[in-house]
A and B are shown apart, each in its own frame.
Chain A
Amino acid sequence: MDAVLELRKLSKSYANHQVAVSGVSLTIQQGEFFSLVGPSGCGKTTTLRLIAGFEEPTDGDVLLKGVSLRGLPPYARNVSTVFQNYALFPHMTVRENIEFGLRRKTQMRAAERQKRVADALEMVQLTGKESRRPAQLSGGERQRVALARSLVLEPDVLLLDEPLSALDPNLRKQVRSELKSLQRRVGITFLFITHDQEEALSLSDRIGVMNQGRLEQVGTPQDVYLRPRTRFVADFLGTVNWINGVGVRPEATRISYHPPGEGERAVPAVIESSLFLGNCLHVKTRLITGEPVVAQVSRLNGSYGCGETVHVWWHPQDEIICPQ
């Protein structure tokens, strides 16, 4: 695989000395679905804006297919952005929106352009809606127009700035799987920005976790979830019970009335509450030391009463060990 996008010690600080991005280095491979995740204000959107060319880095460089983008305006970069609010042109029809980039970036003939627009519309299943205006479309349709408008240009990298956050929760899961299959079909590299760890874990080939302008860890979803290198990464990607310095995910935390077998780690605890969630039980317990521990356990193993003393245990290989 070839590297398509490379960030070299990319930094951005503002006039008031506020640091948005600090020394981010990253290489993204051709055809990869890469997600940058982090809480709001962590610098992920600024990173995307630096790649798109809306802002100039104070230090470092962005390389696209090995060529530095330094000083190039957005219209001279072969990347395209899907904005959080889609930024569709309200005074243009769906067709005109999708044609906009083709008219600027290419000198193709009208017939060829028509065909490309028709293909793009078909790809996002909007055939027949080319004469509508953005205001006449649903949220999901608008998002697909934004995708088509960018993908029709066949960019080297498609930058997506939280494109699912404006959709309602029911639609979001459906669009998520559509997005993944679309990316596989077109084979274009996706750089996806989100603060939703579930979205990132389910969609990505690799994930970069950002915190306070820095890239804390890069890896596959399994890597960053199961083997986080910092406590921040562990906590950001899901709940962690921190017990005597090691972390255990709720789904790896077991509960039993009897002590577990040899080689398992166990601590005594008292049941505080047990919630039936349908597919599992969400059990809150408290250790003798006063620390809370939550466990997500199978409902098939029985139920637990408040105040009961139990053993909380886990396999040593499920432990998350990272420096404080």
Chain B
Amino acid sequence: MKRALSLYAAAVYLFLHLPLAVLAVFSFNSSRFTVWEGFSLRWYEALFRDPHLAEAALNSLIIAFTATAAATVIGTLCAYGLWKQKTGILPGFIKSSLYLSLVTPEIVMGVSLLAFYQWVFRFLDVQLGMHTVVLAHVMFSIAYLVVVALARLRTLDPSLEEAALDLGATEWVAFRKVTLPQLMPGVAAAALLAFTISIDDYVITSLVAGVDSETLPMVIYAMARRGGSPLVNAVSTLIVVILGVMIVASERLQGHS
């Protein structure tokens, strides 16, 4: 029985990761076709010399950093507010609408954002670009941040903040010196998660991006569409490795909290 279970687990694991393994293996193939001809780093070399990919990678990083930073601040404060305001109709409404935004299909969110931007652009002289992508990423990241921060806050003893006030701290100092340090591991983990989601988002990004804001997933998608260049394998493998490290870090942080 135990044996069968391990076998089953191995099969599931293989099913999940075999495509990634194939991708990774062929990223080191010296041939451009899916026939193994020998180990080579030529695609990784080409990758770092491709200006188009470099620009897209830079865009992705700028978007992910900006959106994550903004969403972390907004989301944490929002969770703090919801935690403080224990009763009332509004907090309940906000909490359920957060879960709604977590389960909204990306394509729906992207299309609705696009419609919203186009409506706003009738009144303002702006175009689609980095800012619209950043805003979209902030929007879908906030929900993750709030949910994680709120879960962490619920484990905190409310009398800690009262004790801080009692000992002479203002509300702001009590938040900064007592509540925030205990919230940090959870918030950092959620921020890492938001960062990875932002880096690999394609559907929403491709809908709200402008000509100057092509991201890495968009470029990869276009390249894969044109017929698999091994460059795609290399860049995808890199992304998987980097995101994998971040996910492990995020889990470590949550484990500590």
Contacts and interface: CB of A to CB of B under 8 A. Distances in A.
A87 B168 contact: no
Which of A52, A79, A81 gathers most chain B CB within 10 Å?
A81
Which of B160, B164, B165, B182 gathers most chain A CB within 10 Å?
B165
B169 interface: yes
A74 B157 contact: no
Given A89-B178, A90-B182, A101 B159 contact: no
A75 B159 contact: no
B120 interface: no
Interface residues of B, number: 18
A299 B177 CA distance: 60
Given A54-B162, A87-B157, A89-B160, A101 B167 contact: yes
B153 to A, nearest CB: 14
B166 A104 contact: no
Contacts of A104: 167-169, 173
Nearest to A49: B162
A75 B165 CA distance: 5
A100 B182 CA distance: 16
Interface in B136-192: 157, 159-160, 162-171, 173, 177-178, 181-182
A101 B163 CA distance: 10
Contacts of B163: 81, 83, 87-89
Contacts of B168: 75, 101, 104-105, 153
Interface in A29-86: 52-54, 73-75, 79-81, 83-85
Contact of B181 (A85, A91, A153): A91
A75 B167 CA distance: 6
Interface residue tally on A, bucketed by range: 20 to 34
A144 interface: no
A153 B167 CA distance: 8
A298 B177 CA distance: 59
B165 A80 contact: no
Interface string A94-114: 000000110011000000000
A149 interface: yes
Contacts of A54: 162, 165
Contacts of B166: 52, 74-75, 79-81, 150
Nearest to B156: A90
A85 B157 contact: yes
Contacts of B157: 85, 87
Contacts of A83: 159, 162-163
B173 to A, nearest CB: 7
B169 A87 contact: no
B164 A100 contact: yes
Contacts of A149: 167
Contacts of B167: 75, 80, 100-101, 104-105, 149-150, 153
Contact of B165 (A73, A84, A90): A73
B162 A100 contact: no
Contact of B169 (A84, A90, A100): A100
Given A75-B170, A104-B173, A87 B165 contact: no
A101 B174 CA distance: 11
Interface string A230-242: 0000000000000
B192 to A, nearest CB: 21
Which of A74, A84, A100, A149 gathers most chain B CB within 10 Å?
A74
Interface of B: 157, 159-160, 162-171, 173, 177-178, 181-182
Cβ-closest 5 pairs across A and B: A104-B168, A101-B167, A105-B168, A87-B163, A74-B165
Given A100-B164, A100-B167, 19 more contacts: A52-B166, A53-B165, A74-B165, A74-B166, A75-B166, A75-B169, A75-B170, A79-B166, A81-B162, A81-B163, A85-B159, A87-B157, A89-B164, A90-B160, A91-B181, A101-B168, A104-B169, A105-B168, A153-B168
30 contacts: A52-B162, A53-B165, A54-B162, A73-B165, A73-B170, A73-B171, A74-B165, A74-B166, A75-B168, A75-B169, A75-B170, A79-B166, A81-B162, A81-B163, A85-B157, A85-B159, A87-B157, A87-B159, A87-B160, A87-B163, A88-B163, A89-B164, A89-B178, A90-B160, A101-B168, A104-B168, A104-B169, A105-B168, A150-B167, A153-B167
